Each structure stands twice: as structure tokens, then as C-alpha cells.
Chains A and B, each alone.
Chain A
Amino acid sequence: MNLESTVLLLFAASLLSIVVAAVIMIMAVIVRVRESIERRRLARLQLAWEPIILEIMATGSAPRPLSDLIPAKHRGRFLAFAEQYASRVRGIEKTRLGEAVAPWLRPVVQALDADDPVIRARAVYTMGALGMQVEKPRILSALEDDDPMVVLAATQVLAERGLPMHARLALQALSRFADWSPDFLGATAAKTGSAMAIDLRMTVLDRSRSPRLRSVSLDALRRIKDRDAAIVADTLLIQGDEHPEVLRSALQLLGEFKHHGSAPSIRTELKHSDPEVRAAALVALGQMGDWHDLRLLHAHLSDPEPVVVLAAARGLREMFGEDELRRQLEGGLLTAPALSQVLEGVPA
């Protein structure tokens, strides 16, 4: 290639890049203007739609047929607005809203088969809020979706319904999220409420399940305050479950429920090789508030593992309460750096 051709090419490329830049700039401005107009228009529409939705939730019908009130071009936006209300209510209000918009849900149902997982997940949420009654099998089948996002959406939707059958399926789906934070999964599972308690207990006792799922199940039981789960947790300690993750969750549950009958088993765990398990046991003993354990807790204030020391301090705080522990510290009856650290209020 000679010099003239190269120069021509370079100029052409620079011109192209400047044109591209100009097009991008113009597009950004157009998008901004359009979104601004759309936002204002939507705000006006929502102002008009709000009384209609409230009327539907209260009486089961709109003042006039919905198809007269909402032009076809705005129905997608109306569904999204109705979904916001439906996701905040339960029972008859949710059902009424779903029934009112049912004729318009066809595009959403079709979206359940979309190639894009984001569209499928959004459709699952919309159907869960507005069309669960009619399209339940489709949402259940979303639990088998290849994309974890769609599965999670379906799990959340089903868990929120609180029906035992749904809950069981949702729990099974959770086992696909082995990499997710156990706390988060526990909170998700807990959204099923007490309907799922029996399944959760069975999962905990089923050693063929993964330690992560059993731990998550214990966490969910603790969150839904299933008192009977304490017996299950105690059983685990007695049987000597070998998974630290499961043991920690069990100890956390027993401590929070103040299950005094488990105290001997919990004390045994103070000898566990995993410092996190020892720490969980110390906090649990403190929560139970048995004064016989005071010496044990105090002794662990000098444990070589800082995490155990802090747990012992937290245990003592649980046992004494904030005010009493502060008095003990001020009176010099107890001395350890960790103790003043764990006081939630103003330091002495």
C-alpha cells in the first residue's frame, strides 16, 4: 500500500470514528429526551390508574370495564404497575387483582418461553404476582429452568405463596444454589413460613442431603421460629454430626430458642476442633443463661483463637445483659478487652 492510500485510509478511519462518536452522542440525547417524556407520561398515567387498582382490590371490579379504561397501548405499563401492588398484598386482594388483569397476561405467559433468561425471570415474577392461579404449572416448570436466575425467581415466588407443596419444590430448587450464601438461602427458604417446617426438619435429618442444604434448612427454621426444630438440632448434636457448617447452624438455633435441654450437648461441642463451632457453642450457652456455665464462658476469654474469645464475651453479654455486664466491668469483677468491645451501647 502506498503512502497516499495509507493516508486516505487513516483519514477515512478518523472520519468514521468521529461520525460514530457523533451518532453515539445524538443517540444518547435522543434516549434521554425520550425517557424523560416517557417518565412524565407514566407518572400522569399512574396517577389515573391508582384509584382503579384500589377499587379492584377493594371490590373485585373496576368502575368500568378495564378494557375501556386502559387503552391497548398502555396495558403493558398497567400490568407492571398492578404488579407493584400485587407484590405487596396477599389473599383476596391479590387474587382480585390477578383476576382483573388475567385477560392481558397472555404476552407475559409467552415471555416464560423467551430465549432471554432475564425476560423469563421477569415473567415469572409477574405471573407469580398476578397470574399464579391460572399459570401455576408454568411457574413450577420454571424451577427446572437452565438459568439459575429464573429458578431463583420461581423459588421466591413459590416460597412467598406459603403452600406446603410449593414450599417443598422451592426447597428442592434451593439445592441448585450450592455456591450461594447460606444466610441468603436461609432467608429465601424462610419466606415460605411455617408451611415448610416439616420438610425443612426432614431435610436437616436427611444425611444424604448436602451439608449446605441442611445448614440452610436449620437457618430457615430458626428464622421462622419453628420451636420443634430445637429437638431436631439437639438430635444432631447427640448423634455427633460431623459437618461444622451444620453444627454451627444447629447451635445457633438452640441458643436462640434457649433450649435448655440441649445444654449438655452444647457443652460437649466446646471441645470441637473447629473454632467456629466452639464459638457458636459459647454464644448458645450464654443465650441459655445458665449460671453454671459462667465459669466455662469466662475460661474461654483466654482461648488462643480470637473468634472464640469474642464469642465467649458475647456469651457473657447474653448471660448478664448489657447493663449488668457494664456494671461488672466498672466494678472490676470482670476484666477482658473483649467484654467492653461487645457492649452494643456506649462504652464505659
Chain B
Amino acid sequence: MSPMAWLSYFLQGATFVAFLYFASLLVFYALTTTAAVIGMRRRHRRLGTLRTDELLRMGSAPAVTVIAPAFNEEAVCVDMAHSLESLEHPSYEVILVNDGSTDDTVERLKDAYDMREAERVPVTSIPTAPVRAIYRSRSNPRIWLIDKDNGGKADALNAGVNYTQTPLFCAIDADTLLEPRSLLRLTRPFIEDTSTVAVGGIVRPVNGSHIENGTIQDVRMPRRLLARLQVVEYIRAFFIGRMGWASLGSTLIISGALGMFRREDVVAVGGYLVDTVGEDMELIVRLHRHSRQKGKRYRIEFSPHPTAWTEVPVSVRVLARQRDRWQRGLIETLIRHRGMFFNPAYGVIGMFGMPYYVLLHGLGPFIEIIGVTAFIIAASMGLLSSTYALAFVSLAFGVGIALSAASIALEDMNFRKYHRGSDLFWMFTLAVIENIGYRQMVSFFRMRAIVSYLRGKSSWGTMNRVGFLDSSGTGKKAALAILASAMMLAGATAGSAQEADDPRWSSTAAYTTEWFEGDALLPWRTASFETGRSFSRGTGIVRLGADTRYEETDGWAQVVAYRDLWSRAYTRASLQVAPGAEILPSLDVSVGLNQGLKGGWEVSGGYRMMRTAGDAVHIGSGSLAHYVGPCYLRGGASVAIKGGTTGESVSGLGRCGTGEMAITTAGAIGREVVTLSPGEYELRRTEQLSIDGTLPLGRIWSVTAGLRGGRFEGQPLRGGVHLGLGIRW
């Protein structure tokens, strides 16, 4: 079977899997949305009916300890602590746990709360990193600070649990502000059913809101587009996802930013797991597992009323890290508890909850990205009807918009945290535009996280806090990143290898189309995808692609390597194979050497061999380049030999730019080997010119766009566009 046939089968299979995945997604979403609407209505009406708050405030609520782990949170820790001072609860205390911060977190808290060293008896002994000192506030004695060696968030939480004396504890993040009533409302399910083990609440982005002394005075939409998109994302995740699954009795995640637990149950399972980045989800799954195995009656609940406000990333880079961590945590948990998967002993959790998370969160990103790519390639190669692809994508968008609109409406009718009419308008607008780029970007981050997990990455990454103020300067980048993602989804891209200075991975999806004057011939199309890795002494790139010319399509694979040799010298080598190709060489090998000289000059020489259907073609080349400020200019000449005939050509290239932002112009004129029809290669006079611009979108994304023009002797003039999307990580 030819490689093209294999590619065709692969693409058809991938699109079929994507279709199945999407169908399952629709079923799950329909189920969870219905459950969420019913559950929300029931809970909201119940809360508004039963008069329990007064009784709870009078002292019948069980005592609670709020545990807030902090690692390098100097920007937000004091505001967070202030928010904990104004909680409405008759009996609570606060344990702030400094997890070996290297900034001024401890000093800031000590200064703000007049902390003095104090003694406190640990009630349990879950193993943790050593505790250095314990402090207690003189200005508010209910606030304690545990200063310990770094051991990770889970370790810090465990330290807090060890010193918790109350029957309940509430775990929050250090960048979280609690609403005054949140603690009391989290307590409520524990009062209504003593078998309640854990309760989670809603988390919302705080960016843009007006805050005074750790209290939100005025809820506003964030100013940055990326943060605004997360507002809608959080609403959808909590009001449809969490609420829906909670109503179906299958709460598998309680956010680390806001969750209340019965201490004795958490201690019974050994506390938080330290060797995972998804300690919040892992604990919940373990509590389910433990309770089921013991045959114990238990409840793990989600309540839409308690609310925590958290600072969300305002840069694509930080968002990527956050999602990477979340996804790895999820994968770790799913793999660790794989025994629950489709296991009837775990009831709804085993039969529906776990499979949902495995299929739609574990494998989903892969299926989404590969499916979208396969759709684009298959449609561009004519293997799939472009109308069908368009219909499928429009359905995906339509469902995405409907889902977000439903969650926003649910939030607005029940809670209405965003009071301004303009906020509602914005949220609905975002519900539309998030489907064009943002979701694909997040899916990509999640897919990359799965790769990171498989490679054994286990670090947390860092989140640069800006404090509870909306920082500036990244909104445009986010918007451009979204635009870039939209282009990827539309199937319009192109790009080149990124020879990065620092070791990192990069990928580029590219697409080129060239049309002939007067539609004399069918357009030429090239679609390619490449992944490269730069090392300290070189770069390796793997490219896969397909070229369509003269109604024939050839698939190809290429490996390119660059390696430093000695001072200012490097070698390059490439190998391209296209078995059974009709319009491309079946084998294309090249080697070259570049040597830098004094004064910004560089010389290079190279050899290339192409095996075509007829004779082999041998090409020798040489060039001279010069660096002038941010520009690089190169001129060169080459000689091609095919079956005793020779052809000569000259070429020039100019590139100006800094970093990845650059404009490149290239041109060539002379006699080169060209394909005139399938299987027919000849030396012909050619003229070619191209101009490309590359624009970095933050530190991760870059987009390339360009124009092409040229002519082969005996063929009409042709011109085209080249688009690409690059990403580095």
C-alpha cells in the first residue's frame, strides 16, 4: 500500500474518531447541562427557603480552620489574609502556611499582623517537611502562621491539617479572596448531613474588580481579554461541569482554591498526596475510593453559593503553565485510580464520572487537536468534503456558544455577580469569540501537558502574581494569540523552523497555495507540520507534509539537523523521503557547512542530491552572507547537473528583524530542476520571489504570513500565499 493510501486511511480514521468524540461530548454536555439546571434550581430555592443562617451564626455551626498555603505570595498574601478576617462564622481560625517561600511572604505577614512566635500542639502527624516556626498574630489572635521548609502545596496543606483542631477545615489558595458568607455556606452541607466528607464552592476570576482591605467592593469584568475569556470559562466549568456532575452524584473535583473537608476523614486517608501536582482532585477521588471500599455512607458535595475570587493568568505563558499543571494533575489522578474506571463497585463515579474524565479530559485534548489538524489536512487534500468539514466545525462552534450562553444565563438568573448590563453583553460576546481560538489554545496546552506527563515532568511551574490589581500590557498579545489560533482552525498557516537560542521545543503548522494565471493549471498546495528541538549545540527538526501538484499528491517526511562544529562554524544536513512520489524526488539529501568570518561575514557551501523518477540530480552551491545591524543579507550561486546537462542559478535573501519578529525576502533566477508533470523533471529557466513576515505572539506563539510569485519556463505565471503558525515550549 502506498504512503498516500496510509495517510488517507489515517486522516479518515482521525476524523472519524473526532466525530465520535464530539458526539460523546454532546451527550455528556446535554446530560450535565440538564442536571446542572435542575440541581441549581433545587439548591438555590432550598437555600432561599430554609432559615438556617441565623441559627448558624448564633453558634450552632461547627468550628472551622481555614488553611491557606503560600509559596512566594508576597504580592497577595496580606490581601488574602485581610479577606479571611471578615468571614461570617461564629467559630473559625486561620492557619497560613508558608511553604519555604524565598520572597518576603513571611515578613509581610509578620509585619501586617504583628506576628510573634508561639506554640501550638499538632493534633495529627501526617508526615511533612520540617516546621521552622509557628507564629500567632497579636492584632488578631485567630490568625496563625506556620513557617516550614518547602515541600509543595500538598505538603503545606498537610502541615495545616496537622495543626487543625476543629472538626472541619477549609483549604484555599493564597491568591484567593473569600466572600464573607462563603465559610458559613460551605458549612451548611455538613450540618444537613453528618456523613458529608467534602464540599466545594465556586471559583471566579477577581481580575479587574475593585478590592479594599481584602474585600471585593465592586465586581467588574477584567480589563484584559485573556482574563475575560477565563471569566466565561470558569462560569461554564463550575455552573455546567461541576454543578452537573454534582447533581448526578459524581463530584470528582473540588478546586484547591475553595473546598471544605471533615478533618477526620482526610486524616483517615493519610492527608493530601505529596507526589502529585493535582492534589486537590486526587484527594477527592481517594476519599470516594476509601469510603466506597469501607462501605461507608458518605457525601461529597458541590455548592454553587460559596464563592472564592482568584487571580487568573493575564499572560498566555502563565496560562499555559497553569493549564499544564492542571492537566498533568488530572492525568496523574486518573492513572493512579485507574482501578475505578468502569468499575461498578464505585457506582456512578466508576461507571460515568471516571470514564467522562478519561475520555473528555484525559484524551480529549489529543483528539481535539489531532482531529482538527486531520480535518484541515484531509479537506485540503481533497480526502474530505470541505463542506462537510465546515458543517462539522460550525456545529462544534454552535454547541460551544450555546453551552457557554446557557451557563452565563444560569449564573445571571441565580447569582448575578456581574451587575452591569455591559458585563452581560461582554460575557455573551466572549461566549462567541472564545470558540475561535481560545478553546483551541487551551486544548493545545492540555495536549502538551499530556506529553509533559509522559516525559516525566512533575514540577509545579510558577505563577507570577501581580497582586489583586489588573496588570497591563498583555491583552493585545492574548488577542493576537487568539487570532493565531483562529487561523490554525481555519486551516491557513505556514512557517519555518525556529532555530531557538535557548533549549526548547517548537512546532509549526504551515500551508501554502499558489494559483496559476488564468487558472491554466490547478493550484499547487503544500501543507506541512514540523516539530523541532533546539539543544545547546544544535537543532533537530522533523517535518511531515504533503504537496499537491498537477492533480497528484505526494506525502513526505524530512529530518533536518544543525550542529555547531567549531568557532562560528556549523554544519547542516537533511534527509527527505517521499516513497512512490510522482511530483517530488523520492529521496532528497543535502549537507552543508557555514563558517562565520570577521566583520560579520559568513561563507557557506553545500551539496544536494535528489533522486527522481529519471536521473539523479546533483547540486553544488556556495554563498556569501553579511550581517548589517538587525539585517542579514545573503547572495549565492548553484550549479545543478542532471544527466550530463547543467543549469546555473543565482539567489539572494534578505532578512531583517529582532528575535522572532522578522521580514524575509528571497529571490532566485536561473536554470533549476523543476517538475513539469508527474514523473517529468527537467532543467528549466525559473524566476521566483517571496516575501514573508513573522510576528511573535508572546513568548510562545508566532504567526507567519507571506506572498509568493514565480514562473517556470513554458508555464504561466503563478502567485500564492503562505501562512503559518508556530509555537515554542
Which residues of chain A have a CB within 8 Å of any CB of chain B? Answer: 3, 6-7, 10-11, 13-18, 20-22, 24-25, 27-29, 31-32, 118, 121-122, 125, 149, 152-153, 156, 179-181, 183-184, 186-188, 191, 306-307, 309-310, 313, 337-338, 340-341, 343-347
Contacts and interface: CB of A to CB of B under 8 A. Distances in A.
B24 interface: no
A191 B52 CA distance: 12
Interface string B676-689: 00000000000000
Interface in B343-401: 385, 387-388, 391-392, 394-395, 397-399, 401
A146 B493 CA distance: 64
25 contacts: A13-B395, A14-B391, A17-B398, A17-B399, A17-B402, A21-B431, A28-B405, A31-B413, A118-B49, A121-B49, A125-B51, A149-B50, A153-B51, A179-B192, A181-B190, A181-B192, A187-B59, A306-B123, A310-B121, A310-B123, A340-B118, A340-B119, A345-B141, A347-B116, A347-B138
A14 B123 contact: no
A149 B49 contact: yes
B519 interface: no
Q: Which 4 A-B pairs have the closest CB atoms?
A: A17-B398, A187-B60, A337-B119, A10-B391
Nearest to B431: A21
B365 to A, nearest CB: 22
Q: For the complex, would chain B's binding face be called helix, strand, loop or mixed by DSSP majority? A: helix
A104 B424 CA distance: 39
B58 interface: yes
B191 A184 contact: yes
Interface in B97-138: 116, 118-124, 136, 138
A56 B123 CA distance: 57
B50 A153 contact: yes
B409 A24 contact: yes
Interface residues of B, number: 55
Nearest to A185: B60
A15 B399 CA distance: 10
Nearest to A191: B55
Contacts of A6: 388, 391
Interface string B492-509: 000000000000000000
A341 B406 contact: no
Contacts of B397: 14
Interface of B: 45-46, 49-52, 55-56, 58-62, 116, 118-124, 136, 138, 141, 165, 190-195, 385, 387-388, 391-392, 394-395, 397-399, 401-402, 404-406, 408-409, 412-413, 416, 421, 424, 428, 431
Contacts of A338: 119, 121
A310 B421 CA distance: 53
Contacts of A3: 385, 388
Chain A CB within 10 A, most for which of B50, B56, B165, B412 = B50
B425 to A, nearest CB: 9
A206 B404 CA distance: 57
Nearest to A148: B192
Given A7-B387, A121-B49, A347 B118 contact: yes
B391 A11 contact: yes
B424 A179 contact: no
Chain B CB within 10 A, most for which of A22, A179, A181 = A181
B408 A28 contact: yes
Contacts of B424: 28-29, 32
A338 B401 CA distance: 57
B198 to A, nearest CB: 16
A121 B50 contact: yes
Contact of A346 (B61, B138, B193, B392): B138
A13 B50 CA distance: 42
A306 B428 contact: no
B398 A7 contact: no
B394 A183 contact: no
A17 B395 contact: yes
A282 B123 CA distance: 17
